[in-house]
Amino acid sequence: MMKAKTTYNVISDCRGMCENEIINTIISDRGIKDVEHFLNPNEGDLLPLDSLENVDMARKIVENGIDCGFHFGILWDTDTDGATSGAIMTRYLMNFTKAVSPFINEGKSHGLIGQDIDRFNDCDIVIIVDSLDKDITQYRELVSRGKEVVVLDHHAIDQDVPYDEYITLVSSQRNYDNLNLSGAGVVWKFCKYLDQYFMEDYADDYVDLAACGLVADMMDVSENSMENRYIIEIGLDRMINPAIKKIVGSFPFNSTAISFSIAPLINAANRMNRNVTAMNAFLADDNKEVLKYIKELKKCKEEQNEEVEKLMDNIIVQADGQLDKKVISIFINSENGISGLIGNKLLERYQRPLLILKEIEIDGEKYYAGSARAIGIDDFRKLCNETGVAEANGHELAFGIQVKAKKYGDFISKLEESLENIEIKMARTVDIELDISDITRDLIDKIKTIDKISGTGFKPITVKVSDITEYEVGSMSQGKHLVLKPTDYLQLIKWNWNGSFDDMEDNAILEEPITVIGKLDSGWLGRTFSLKIICDEVKVVA
């Protein structure tokens, strides 16, 4: 089976247009109905705080706990949305009481299932953020021990589970008009509700954390989710958390910074079973402490990358042996949660559905568990679940999966059969085509303004530039990244270049034309300010 070839469908040819014409074309093509409102969300976009079901019941529990001097335990979830949710709730309560203890699970464990709840023995009230157990056993046990349990969440709710008998559940999935409000958004709005009741103004100091949670959890930021856009907008304009400040540094605080600077560090801590480091980073205020934790997070990322690199040769051998299959299955032996990262790296190379699995044991039975990734189809998760022998949970094309080892052969056979008549479509939409001469600082500044809040539902604006024949070839990070310079002021950068630098030098000498697809950017590199295209693809046109 040959790798699917990616085709790029350019919506508008903007070559030769002035900056304003290009911007108006992009806005028209994107179908934005109210441009001014879209780019400038306002407080009116925030749904009423009391429209979150059970929010007042949760408020009463918190208020009573503060008045009675009760001890609060806050259980954070382990991804970026969960870590920011936990930081918001913990920091908020510490304005009223010091009797607050934060807890976080190891690795990718969520909620209370399989966890030792004795750690909450000293807590009177347990607040669980960004996770909801399918099994109420642990909730029931905590209640039997005299604890009150509040869950602030956004995941799907099984209507057959009697949550209300044991916990106070506040969720954006319960009769709420913004189903795309993430855990951090729910927690932040709950704190805003408490502010309203207590006549305080603490919650806005944590809105940068809410913005990070919303973007990192890939919540909708289209015109259909103006509440999300408002929370992100004020969060990006109010960077207060010391860890966020340290990670972002001198770069703009925008959706790109969250997705490519903040979230990867939290994810690395998650994969390397050092979630406590991420928790401590978001709670630290002393500059030296913050710096120490950020260095530890960066070390996690380095160790994660080293482990992936160590496994990659064997992984490639496994994958290359399955080129006749619809689905490539990779088995790894690692104590860390790196399967999703490996899947992401392999997608570009093989461009077909992938399973990255390791053997685990549950109640004495052998399972294969890990991550699934796909590209070019609508819903790989659905196909996996429809086999009837696997459990897949997460996003449509990026999710966790597990299957009993004894059922694995049956699972793969059914999956291959399901994919037999499905064409993998590697078509990608590009907003505009430009010439090198069309790219100006003013144009890039205007596009960056539009892209400030981007993600699910409103992807960053992409450009295509063709027929580039004169360019210098260089690199960054000791040959890790490709840098092409067609002019003195413009750089074309391809991160993690897998091609040959020697071949690219030959192409430059022969003036072989290249085409690039990517996103416009600008910034300082040392003392030099340059315009950039951060390339998704660099193609030599033979």
Q: Which residues of 381-410 are buried (b: 16+ CB within 10 A; e: fewer)?
A: bebbbebebbebeeeebbbbbebbeebbee
* Residue 165 or 337, more confident: 165
pLDDT at 426: 67
CA distance 9 to 429: 5
Q: Environment class of residue 9 by beta-carbon count within 10 Å: exposed (0-12), middle (13-18) or buried (19+)?
A: exposed
In this predicted structure, the answer to whether residue 162 has a pLDDT above a threshold of 90 is: yes
The CATH code of domain 43-243 reads 3.90.1640.30
Segment 244-302, tens digit of pLDDT = 999 999 889 999 999 999 999 999 999 999 999 999 999 999 999 999 999 999 999 99
pTM, to two decimals? 0.91
pLDDT at 423: 74
Q: Name the CATH code of domain 7-31+426-540 (choices 3.30.1330.90, 3.30.1600.10, 2.60.40.3080, 2.40.50.460).
A: 2.40.50.460
pLDDT at 5: 59
Average pLDDT, integer, range 303-310: 93
CATH class of this structure's domain 327-419:
alpha beta
**Residues 106, 302: contact at Cβ < 8 Å?**
no
DSSP H or E segment with residue 320: helix 287-320
Average pLDDT, integer, range 229-257: 96
**Residues 444, 521: contact at Cβ < 8 Å?**
yes
Domain range list for the chain:
7-31+426-540, 43-243, 327-419
